[in-house]
A = this chain, B = another copy of it.
């Protein structure tokens, strides 16, 4: 999984990788350089996660918005 590009990861892959990164950072013997690299990776993963969540949220809103609009139209049409 480590070899997969961040931009190609699914949310879960990305999130798990983020958690792994956190674990790696918590290790006692991590060097400053590794810390920085891990941090940058973490930020990239965070951005990807955030992007995927925002996209998901948007598409859910769209779907729900469409649904509600249609429902209203339907109710008008039906004149119940």
The size of the chain A interface, using a CB distance under 8 A, is: 32
Verify A31–B10 contact, CB threshold 8 A. yes
Give the distance to chain B from A70, nearest Cβ to Cβ, in Å.
Answer: 7
* Beta-carbon nearest neighbor of A74 in chain B: B54
Contact yes or no, A54 B31, CB < 8 A:
no
CA distance A77 to B63 in the complex (A): 18
The answer to whether A50 touches B36, judged by C-beta atoms less than 8 angstroms apart, is no
Question: Does the CB pair B12–A40 fall under 8 Å?
Answer: no
Further 7 A-B residue pairs, CB within 8 A, beyond A43-B64, A51-B74, A54-B74:
A32-B53, A39-B63, A43-B67, A46-B67, A47-B67, A50-B74, A57-B78
